Amino acid sequence: MTQEELFKKLVAHCKEYGFIFPSSEIYDGLAAVYDYGQLGVELKNNIKHYWWDAMIKLHHNIVGIDAAIFMHPRVWEASGHVGAFNDPLIDNKDSKKRYRADVLIEEWMAKQGEKINKEVEKARKRFENFDEVMFRQTNPRVLEYQAKLDEVHKRMADALNANDLEGLRQIIIDLEIACPISGTRNWTEVRQFNLMFETKIGSVAEGANKIYLRPETAQGIFVNFLNVQKSGRMKIPFGIAQIGKAFRNEIVARQFIFRMREFEQMEMQFFIEPGTEMKWFKHWKEFRMSWHKALGFGDGHYQFHDHDKLAHYANAATDIEYEFPFGFKEVEGIHSRTNYDLSRHGEYSGRKITYFDTEKGESYVPYVIETSIGVDRMVLQVISASLKEEQLENGESRIVMSFPPALAPVKAAVLPLIKKDGLPEMADKIVDKLKFDFNVQYDEKDSIGRRYRRQDAIGTPFCITVDYQTLEDGTVTLRHRDSMEQERVKIDDLHSIISREVGFAKLFEKIVNKD
Ligand code: ATP
């Protein structure tokens, strides 16, 4: 199966099993907006729980807030979003399709990278004792491709940094990039497009005021810096974490929930003493990478990608990229934001936003390291990594979502073998014993094999089957999702077995022990 087919299957699976639906689907949907269904919302909540506790519970010096989506319009002037939160867009005059100029060039670069990899793979098959490093350093064709790639990379970074829109367009022309729809190179000029959604607050009669839907949650943290620091008597270094909705009018919104117009972010701003930012930047890069890797999807699927173009506020920035079916893509950004935001809010609000260091006896505007991850991208990462089609020994196949148990929407399914003779009643009792602590499902429809398959497809780690023996000796069959192994256990032991497996402690131990 190609990666593209795999991705289509993933989207279809998400809809069929109640994870994710297109928004307003009966009206043909709304582009790049999605709704979470009954299982999707559980998965999403578990991911948020994993992030929140990793920030708040594992760190004595990080606290959370929940700021409003609407903010004073001056916030976005101070933050620089009104002036500079833009993407460079370009239209193809024939297809009338709109693209991000930088993304068109990045896609060309990715193809160039694939050409190099193909040469390497060809050579690997041809030569015994193949030395890949040597080959990459000496093969004339690879060197030629690489030189071109490096040149384009540099030109793009220079054009973006200089805000040189004509220069960006020229790269597209020089590389002869064609529109994937029309196949032509009939391009418009490149224009800047502001990504913020606007709306009005107050009745029109009172004189409506333009406000924005926040494009990031971070500003809610910055404007509350003094409130939290003073009321919590926080001492630097300390962090403020927040989970909430953000909105961006993305030009090209595709790849399912990877790029949405309404999405959710989990952001943490860590306030530090000026001059210590590189130490903390490194610390948070490592911590966040361990958080991802603890999920067990395979360390080889992650990489750091340093930014070519730094945002107007940053002096260092990197992305954590995960290998999706459509390639390595950003799931999280880690940014050293200097004291830009707090200084600007100080300037625009006229308030003194500083921190008094009692030990040093001096005041300063704190620097900030930010970790910012999209909940939805994380959902997509978890689903991409977990959805598998397995061939079984008996020749059949099964679809299984091998979610880390802590993230699984349903923790256990209780299944009476048949629908009579007191088995459903006994199954009900087991549900009652477990339901205060775990999300459990009761299912009595269809054969037991089909019920197992249904639970595999939604990633339930445990199936508990109630049979005649249960009525006699108080034991049940416990089936493990991944190994499909079955064991006989006492009803009284179920709670502790499930609890051990699905608790977040298992994940947190991996992170903490790494530190
Ligand atoms: P991209 O380069 O993909 O547009 P970005 O660098 O603009 O992303 P940030 O501003 O750093 O993204 O936002 C932090 C995180 O928020 C991203 O790593 C991503 O997980 C998430 N995010 C940003 N934009 C979107 C979106 N349109 N849909 C879903 N998640 C998003």
Q: What is the CATH number of the domain that holds 434?
A: 3.40.50.800
Distance (Å) of CA 6 to CA 11, 114, 253, 446? 9, 19, 20, 28
**Residue 224 sits in the same domain as residue 247:** yes
pLDDT (tens, 9 = 90+) of the chain, 515 residues, equals 677 888 999 999 999 999 999 999 999 999 899 999 999 999 999 999 999 999 999 999 999 999 999 999 999 999 999 988 888 999 999 999 999 999 999 999 999 999 999 999 999 999 888 999 999 999 999 999 999 999 999 999 999 888 899 999 999 999 999 999 999 999 999 999 889 999 988 765 566 688 999 999 999 999 999 999 999 999 999 999 999 999 999 887 778 999 999 999 999 999 999 999 999 999 999 999 999 999 999 999 999 998 877 777 788 999 999 999 888 999 999 999 999 999 999 999 999 999 999 999 999 999 999 999 999 999 999 999 999 999 988 888 999 999 999 999 999 999 999 999 999 999 999 999 999 999 999 999 999 999 999 999 999 999 999 999 999 999 999 999 999 999 999 999 999 999 999 999 999 999 987 65
pLDDT score, position 168 = 95
Cα of 268 to ligand 1 centre, how many Å? 15
User: Residue 351's domain spans which residues?
Assistant: 1-70+210-391
- Residue 434, domain member (yes or no): yes
- Residue 53, domain member (yes or no): yes
**Residue 184 sits in the same domain as residue 39:** no
Tell me how far apart the alpha carbons of residues 391 and 257 are, in angstroms, rounded to a whole number: 29
- Residue 80, domain member (yes or no): no
Check: CB of residue 154 under 8 Å from CB of residue 167: no
Nearest of 310, 196, 319 to residue 261 by alpha carbon: 196
Where does ligand 1 bind, in terms of residues with CB under 6 Å?
216, 248, 250, 259-260, 263, 265, 330-333, 372-374, 376-377
- Residue 75, domain member (yes or no): no
Cα of 374 to ligand 1 centre, how many Å? 6
Helices (H), 80-164: 81-84, 101-126, 132-138, 140-161
**Residue 503 sits in the same domain as residue 460:** yes
**Residue 215 sits in the same domain as residue 189:** no
**Residue 266 sits in the same domain as residue 186:** no
Distance (Å) of CA 247 to CA 36, 65, 69, 197? 17, 19, 9, 7
**Domain-ending residue, one of 342, 368, 391:** 391
Q: Which atom of ligand 1 is nearest to the CA of 374?
A: 20
pLDDT score, position 475 = 97
Cα of 427 to ligand 1 centre, how many Å? 45
Instruction: Write the residue with the smallest CA distance to atom 2 of ligand 1.
Output: 330
**Domain-ending residue, one of 391, 410, 428:** 391
Domain count for the chain: 3
Going by the DSSP 8-state scheme, the letter that residue 365 receives in this structure is P
Cα of 331 to ligand 1 centre, how many Å? 7
**Residue 122 sits in the same domain as residue 271:** no
Instruction: Write the residue with the smallest CA distance to atom 16 of ligand 1.
Output: 374
Distance (Å) of CA 319 to CA 288, 306, 375, 454, 506? 11, 6, 15, 36, 26
CATH of the domain at 315: 3.30.930.10
Pocket residue to mutate for ligand 1, from 48, 377, 378, most atoms within 8 A of Cβ: 377
Tell me how far apart the alpha carbons of residues 202 and 199 are, in angstroms, rounded to a whole number: 10
- Residue 247, domain member (yes or no): yes
Q: Which atom of ligand 1 is nearest to the CA of 253?
A: 27
Cα angle 389, 392, 393 (rounded to 5 degrees) comes to 160
Tell me how far apart the alpha carbons of residues 442 and 428 are, in angstroms, rounded to a whole number: 8
**Residue 240 sits in the same domain as residue 269:** yes
Tell me how far apart the alpha carbons of residues 364 and 373 are, in angstroms, rounded to a whole number: 28
pLDDT score, position 326 = 86
- Give phi and psi for 272, each to the nearest 5: -135, 170
Distance (Å) of CA 98 to CA 31, 189, 206, 286, 330? 14, 11, 38, 37, 22
- Residue 81, domain member (yes or no): no
**Residue 10 sits in the same domain as residue 51:** yes
- Non-local (6+) Cβ contacts of 228 within 8 A are 63, 65, 234, 240
pLDDT score, position 201 = 85
Other Cβ atoms less than 10 A from the Cβ of 78: the count is 23
Which H or E element spans position 199?
strand 198-201
Q: Which atom of ligand 1 is nearest to the CA of 261?
A: 27
Handedness of CA 192, 195, 201, 204 (dihedral sign): positive
**Residue 370 sits in the same domain as residue 247:** yes
- Residue 175, domain member (yes or no): yes
**Residue 266 sits in the same domain as residue 387:** yes
**Residue 8 sits in the same domain as residue 106:** no
- Residue 216, domain member (yes or no): yes
**Domain-ending residue, one of 163, 194, 225:** 194
Tell me how far apart the alpha carbons of residues 62 and 56 are, in angstroms, rounded to a whole number: 5
